Structure 1
């Protein structure tokens, strides 16, 4: 498996239309894989970044629309301004690590910094910018594999990763993550799909009604690095324990909202079951179309981001501009900066152990 920067790509062949492939200068191939279930829901995923490029599903009247933000061709993913990470797998560590540094057993490791002084989503060339090996496991199941070598972006250890996407006839997109290492290393993988349940490019998402199964958040400083505290959401704009419109409290004067330019925070999930079991993390309802999405995960946290940094510079697959807050992300994860926060659940993977976790996005309408 070769690493592939976006520099030097040729062809920019359309990925969505025609399902073509494009070769890099080092002869890696970028391909698109289409999953479709018996009710017509269609999910498209490319091995460039193991990226979900499209999720087409029905509204309450049976009308189909693409609800995932993205591009029509691979050049969009490689050359995008604002680095939105549309649909991609991010890692080796999703979210931020303070000042790009952490220590394991007395040894300090220095990572690439790509978010001011901090490390974000795996660094300059994270997993979203590499070509993964792909294997069609079944009609509606595809597995992507990548070997992140010792020293990539500053991380210790050779990390072997597999991410498997499965689209079920129950309208669930299941993502299974598996990783092993030959040295102790932090691992925190997640998918960074932006959703708009009205359809990609159909305005903002402030009217979507969100429920988060979480009574607390991990508040951040001005650099969006956790302070180490666990803060109750009750009585704050961050209380989504009962479903409410995303835009209801987003304009409230609140320091945390000011830091994130809106919601861009980690919620501490209420775990109703035992470790290793899927629990409900979030629901989202879009009233005008009736589309309804549920998120289940084994992870302890979820990053809710409502597209605050979308600037209107990007055009999507239908040629419409992605406005500010034109999409939201629900990234299941361990907490940000966990390698530097001893009170947070550990993200250190040891040789002989397996990083194994599952997240499910379920789509319906009502």
Structure 2
């Protein structure tokens, strides 16, 4: 196991530093101290050719605004909060409506736009980069001084584990996730429509016309959203399901079933690369890059529609009439602990 660091440049009078963790199997993960951003996950294909399997901006400066949240740590809460308003007990929180008319991904200056203190350690069979900061009371109008730690652990078993931790001195809301866009073709050579996807889910969280949860689950057997048997992402993406049309592609939480095995599997037949995802969260948001930005990517192209699939394990976002809010409440003095595991294989 090895860890290296490299200063990429200066933003807001602070150094933007890239930390690289690598194992003996050819897996390498690169994380920024800004935004907790994963810029690279380098893995070999079946011919042992090593390439990046997450979308990456060509220039590091593009990560400062990062309107697509490429690779970013999302917090305090992932997804949309309906109309930017939510009740926490009997207290009404009024949040920024940066996803008009909703609040999205933690607000105008969420965790994706913060610098973090960094701690690194190499152990016998794993190495990690831990990012930490305190989100101050009323940052983005969330109550409580929230102590945040996010640990990115790469193992010799070809697993990337992301451990999330939070503790607040007031009741608050926490629902963190990561917003990496996966593309197993390597270095963004092709779109993701030929990727095979499996999701351990029989229902999705119903969204209203503004993409906020209604509080209901929709059973998906036999619909375009049914990935209980692995199928290509592009097979039904242009279907007539109302939720699909409203999102201009897949952009919704799948509610996960309990049981053994991976919660999600992504496979690219052309390269043999396999990604398995295991999470302790109740849902996984899948977003098929339906609204790409104009920043130049690693492949020297921009505005590439459906060139990545964001896989965002989290609890269901807060919707109409504060539905699902109980899944995001962190009580004063209690600990928020969550883990998602990404396992990389070749088939």
Note whether the superposition's TM-score is higher than 0.5: yes
- What is the aligned partner in structure 2 of residue 179 from structure 1? 166
Query: 1:258-281 CA distances to partner (integer Å, 9 max, x unpaired)?
Result: 1110100000001227xxxxx621
Larger fraction in strand: 2
Match of 1:76 among 48, 52, 62: 62
Match of 2:330 among 349, 354, 357: 349
User: 1:149/1:296 Cα in 2 relative to 1: closer, same or farther (>3 Å)?
Assistant: same
Matched, 1:50 2:64: no
Residues in 2 aligned to 1:135 and 1:351: alpha-carbon distance in whole angstroms: 26
Match of 2:93 among 109, 114, 131: 109
1:295-334 correspondence to structure 2 within 5 Å: 295-310=277-292, 313-321=294-302, 323-334=304-315
Q: Secondary structure at the match of 2:56?
A: coil
Residues in 1 aligned to 2:262 and 2:164: alpha-carbon distance in whole angstroms: 18
- The root-mean-square deviation of aligned C-alpha atoms, in Å, is 1.8
Residues in 1 aligned to 2:119 and 2:319: alpha-carbon distance in whole angstroms: 32
Whether the 8 Å contact between 1:201 and 1:321 is mirrored in structure 2 is no
Structure 2 residue ranges without an equivalent (≥5): none
Residues in 1 aligned to 2:50 and 2:207: alpha-carbon distance in whole angstroms: 39
Residues in 1 aligned to 2:320 and 2:118: alpha-carbon distance in whole angstroms: 30
Aligned length: 341
Residues in 2 aligned to 1:105 and 1:302: alpha-carbon distance in whole angstroms: 26
Residues in 2 aligned to 1:135 and 1:57: alpha-carbon distance in whole angstroms: 24
Whether the 8 Å contact between 2:82 and 2:320 is mirrored in structure 1 is no
Query: 1:167-194 CA distances to partner (integer Å, 9 max, x unpaired)?
Result: 1111111000000001111100000000
1:156-175 correspondence to structure 2 within 5 Å: 156-175=143-162
User: 1:18/1:161 Cα in 2 relative to 1: closer, same or farther (>3 Å)?
Assistant: closer
Deviation at 1:339, TM superposition (A): 8.9
Deviates more, 1:111-120 or 1:339-348: 339-348
Deviation at 1:340, TM superposition (A): 4.4
Matched, 1:288 2:273: no
Structure 1 residue ranges without an equivalent (≥5): 1-16, 274-278
Matched, 1:363 2:344: yes
TM-score (norm 2): 0.94
- What is the aligned partner in structure 2 of residue 60 from structure 1? 46
Query: 1:303-348 CA distances to partner (integer Å, 9 max, x unpaired)?
Result: 011111115x232124233510000011000001169444675210
User: 1:152/1:332 Cα in 2 relative to 1: closer, same or farther (>3 Å)?
Assistant: same
